[in-house]
Each structure stands twice: as structure tokens, then as C-alpha cells.
Amino acid sequence: MWCGPPGPQAEGRRKERRRFPPGGWIALSLEPTTADLARAAREALEFLRGAPDVLEAEAFVSANGQLLARLAYASHLPSNGVEEPKSTASHGIGLQVVFRDPAGPRFGFGSEPSDLSGEGVRRALAKAREGAVHDPTFVSLPRPGPERRTLAAYHDPQLLDLDDEDLVAAGWRIVTGALRTFTASTRLAELAESEEDLRRLRLLLGGDVTIVQERVAIVSTHLPEVQTDETTLITASTTGMVETMDAKGSGWSTGTRLDEFTEEAGVEAAHGAIRALGGERIPSGRYRIILGPQPVTDLLNNLVLPALHASSFYASTTPFLGRFGKRVAAPALSIYDHGALRGFTGSKGVTCEGLPTGRTDLVSGGVLTGLLTNWYEAQRLLRDPQARVKLGVEPAEAAAGLVARNGFRFAAGGGRSFSSPPGTAATNVFVEGQDGVSLDELCRRVGDGLYVGRIWYTYPINGLQAGDFTCTVVADSYLIRDGRITVPLRANAVRISDNIAGVLEGVIGVTREVKGTTVWGGDEVVYAPSIAVAGLQVDEIASFLNTL
């Protein structure tokens, strides 16, 4: 099994390099080091500068590893606990090139996997040239601004050079925490007089431990000094169940260091499943609701953050169209993205455009103050003849909130991909309240309502611009009565159908405590609080048993 790109201590294990003319490019039979990536990027740009039809060029080289330990425990069936420890690896080069043309510059992108040699660069260039198009909104490849890089040497060498035993041990840490929580439960003991009875309850734990290893190098015409970046992260996502009682709980953890990885996600999932015993159904209606960290993250990932991309304003597909500088949420609510914080899971030293990461204030005291953007999207929105209508202010007034700190080539949780041009993605998203309170205080503000701890199938309906959405409440949810969390809500018994404006404008309180949370397929990490909302529409889902 491949266990990540070799670090400096593994240099002696590398196979012999082979040289390819011209220019001394290298091709490797193993994953290249960061120094190899930097050299390949530099030599590729030198080659592109010599091409007579090239006006501007950018070379992006990356090597990614993703390691996965699948968790699968069942008390009533033979199971290994940690299944399918596996890994994927990729490396290659991507070129963005601006070509001379009598009709005007043409812009193209081409990539080549697993080959950093001269031949690989030539093939990528040929693809870029063949697919090049005239884009009247294109201004230039990224240019430097006043901001400078602040984050370097922040990755964990242990995660960058992980071995098989450490990966499996990380998975078992989660499983062991869950089993210890199940067996220590007094509530389960009341239902099971023996170990055999406990097994018959069908205790389940599923999920995964994921480690992502990213190494990149980038250089371009206007950013001629090669930038490199090394990033590591480790996450866990788990679901625990007492299957015979239809009780489900969830757990998450995010981090950047192996030595700080704990059993937290397993303990949370098992504890949540135990708390969910005896779940009740509720009728349809409008309820005061506390959204826990996972629902907050899911709504941000699927609705709020996509609506705060510069590209959504350019395409007029955002519910916040024309509201830059205006209130879009309750005054108590603020949201910002910060990609340059040491120790936070989504942090990166530089973007995949070679620009510094940093803080972008998106919503400040309820007012829309900034957008997530890459260089291309920022430039074309600021120069759009309809920008005044789309933003709601003159472009010059919005420029400070349109800094390209979020141009990434993420591959749906699989690293920073050489095979695509930069898109736009958040990094570490922080949600804050003006007067952060405890969860107990938030419950008192709600009085009677619901605590919703996990949702899924969250998606916009009627298009993103409408802001309408639906989602199903699947776990970790409870009734709030007289300001206290009481009995659990039955899993998969209700869905929420409302409008994201109602969520943002209806905020009546935010907790001080936040939790780093991810959702499936999401690249950003949301440090999410629990948020109380004045009222959301909840619809009962018909029970199969009631239809018999």
C-alpha cells in the first residue's frame, strides 16, 4: 500500500532519477518531492517563455495523497472494526497559457498526469493550445498585490509520511472510543442483562478516518518566484446506531496533527445513539429551532457559501444580488473566511494561483462586506458593465471585498488537483455571534422548539437565487420544552423546507462554542456554533409503519 509521498527522511529510499532533454527536466518512478515539484514548475515556465506564440503562462505542479481507513463495526455480525485501509496518489502538471492571435489573445488550459518531464510539459502545452478560446472577459493571469504570505512550514511531517500501522491505529482509536462508550452506558445496561443481549441490540459504528497530503508548486509570468506549499489534515466522520431501537448518533473531528488526533468522533457517535433511544415524532408546523454545528455547516456549504462566490454575482444566480454593503442577515451574525491561521484544518500558505491566503469578511454584523473569489472572477466582475446592478454599489466600492484569496483547485476532498484551472473555495469559515452565549442560554431563548443536530440531502430548490431549500433531519435531534433539551426526535421523521434568508435574518442567538465540522464532498472546514432561529417550517415525513 502506498502511504504518502516520502519526506526528507525517506530520500534514501527513492529510486534513481532519469534525465530527459531538453532543459534537464526530470521524470520519477516514485512520487516527487516538493523540491522536484518546484524545479519542474520553474523549468516548465522557462520553456513556455521560449514559445513564440505565448504571451503569459502559469505552471502548477502538485502531488496529492489521500489515505482512508473505513470503519465498520457491528455487534451482531462478524466485522473487523477497521476495514479497507487504502490510499490514492496522483501527481502532474497543469498549464494556463495566453496565446497570441491576430483576432486577440486566446486563453487555454492543459494538463498531464504522472509526468514532469519535458515531454509531459509539451503534451500539456499542446492541449492548452488546442483548447484555447478567445475570452473577452479575461484580463490577465494573477498579478501580485500588497498582501504577503504569512503561513509557512505548518504541516505535520508525521501525516506527510504516514505508515500503514499509524493509519490503522487511527481508525481503531475511533472504534475503541465508541465501544467503550456503548459498554459503559447505564441506559443500554437497562435494556441488556447480558453481553449477548447487548449484541442483540445491534450496535453499529460506521464512518471513516481520512488523511489528505498536499504538496504544490506554482510559478507564472507575473509571479516569477516559485511558491511551494505543503499541507496535511486528518478528519473523522462517524455514525453510531442502536439499530433495533432506530437510534442514531454522529461524530466529527478535524485536525492537522497526528499526535492531537483523539477518539472524539467515536465517543460522540455512540453517545448520540444512546441519547436518541425512544425518539418521538412531531406534527408539521413552524418551530423555533436551534441548528447544531453540522446543520450550520451543511447550510453554509450548500447554500450560503456558493451564493457568496463572485461568480454567482457575475451570473446573477445569488439570492444576495445587488445587496453588497446592505444587510443580509440578523445584526448579531458575522461570517468570515480565513485561510492563513496556523493549526486550523483548512489553512493553506498560498492559493493555487500563487497568491497569499488571508481573511475575507463575508458578512459583518449582518451586512454583506465581501465575496469569495479567485483572480479571474474578481477581475471580470469588477470590469463587468453591469457590475453596479449586480453588486448594488459601484465596483470601486466593492474592490476591498473582492481580493483573490480563494483561488483553489480542490478535487472534492482529494487534494489540490493539477488537472483543472483554479475555481473558488473557502478554507476555514468562522460563524460568530455578537453576544455568544452558552447552549443552555440558547435553549432558554427558544423556550419550546427543536434542537436539530444533523441533516442531510440539503439542496436548493427553484435554483440558488431563490434561496429555497429542503433537508431531512436524520440524527442527534431533540425537543426543547420550557427552555431545556428533553426527549429525542425520531430519526428521518421530519424535513425542513424554508428559505435561507429566513435562516439568516431569523437568528436570535449564537453559541460561544464552535466545532470544526466538514460535510461530505466539502473542501472547507466550518468552525460552526449552534444557532437559534426564530422560526422554520418543519414537515412530517410519513411513517412506513403507519401506512400498513
With vertex at residue 80, the alpha carbon angle to CA 76 and CA 84, rounded to the nearest 5 degrees, is: 130
Tell me how far apart the alpha carbons of residues 73 and 180 are, in angstroms, rounded to a whole number. 13
3-state secondary structure 48-69: HHCCCCEEEEEEEEEEEEEEEE
Q: 500 to each of 298, 309, 317, 328, 530, how far by Cα in Å?
A: 12, 16, 14, 10, 16
Tell me how far apart the alpha carbons of residues 299 and 525 are, in angstroms, rounded to a whole number. 13
Listed as own residue / partner, the contacts of 87-90 with beta carbons closer than 8 Å and 24 or more positions apart are 87/1, 87/2, 87/3, 87/4, 88/414, 89/2, 89/4, 89/5, 89/31, 89/63, 89/64, 89/65, 90/62, 90/63, 90/64, 90/114, 90/415, 90/417, 90/418
First to last CA, the chain: 50
Tell me how far apart the alpha carbons of residues 547 and 496 are, in angstroms, rounded to a whole number. 22
Tell me how far apart the alpha carbons of residues 90 and 61 are, in angstroms, rounded to a whole number. 11
Tell me how far apart the alpha carbons of residues 138 and 377 are, in angstroms, rounded to a whole number. 9
Closest CA to 149 of 341, 376, 358: 358
The count of C-alpha atoms lying within 13 angstroms of the C-alpha of 377, restricted to the half-sphere facing its C-beta, is 26
Tell me how far apart the alpha carbons of residues 474 and 454 are, in angstroms, rounded to a whole number. 6
Render each residue's pLDDT in the chain as its tens digit; 548 residues. 223 333 333 333 233 333 333 334 433 335 899 999 999 999 999 999 999 999 999 999 999 999 999 999 999 999 999 987 899 999 999 999 999 999 999 999 999 999 999 999 999 999 999 999 999 999 999 999 999 999 999 999 999 998 888 999 999 999 999 999 999 999 999 998 888 888 899 999 999 999 999 999 999 999 999 999 999 999 999 999 999 999 999 999 999 999 999 999 999 999 999 999 999 999 999 999 999 999 999 999 999 999 999 999 999 999 999 999 999 999 999 999 999 999 999 999 999 999 999 999 999 999 999 999 999 999 999 999 999 999 999 999 999 999 999 999 998 767 999 999 999 999 999 999 999 999 999 999 999 999 999 999 999 999 999 999 999 999 999 999 999 999 999 999 999 999 999 999 999 999 999 999 998 878 899 999 999 999 999 999 987 544 44
Tell me how far apart the alpha carbons of residues 46 and 404 are, in angstroms, rounded to a whole number. 26
Tell me how far apart the alpha carbons of residues 85 and 12 are, in angstroms, rounded to a whole number. 26
Q: Is the pTM above the cut of 0.85? A: yes
Residues 231/142, Cβ–Cβ less than 8 Å: no
Residues 492/394, Cβ–Cβ less than 8 Å: no
Tell me how far apart the alpha carbons of residues 50 and 58 are, in angstroms, rounded to a whole number. 13
DSSP β-bridge partners for residue 499: 468
Cell of 316: 446573477
Length of the chain as a residue count: 548
DSSP β-bridge partners for residue 204: 74, 241
Domain boundaries, the chain: 8-275, 285-547
Q: How many CB atoms lie within 10 A of CB 514?
A: 18
Residues 216/208, Cβ–Cβ less than 8 Å: no
Tell me how far apart the alpha carbons of residues 171 and 507 are, in angstroms, rounded to a whole number. 38
For domain 8-275, the CATH architecture is 2-Layer Sandwich (3.30)
**Secondary structure of residue 101 in the 3-state scheme:** coil
Cis peptide before 22 (omega within 30 of 0): yes
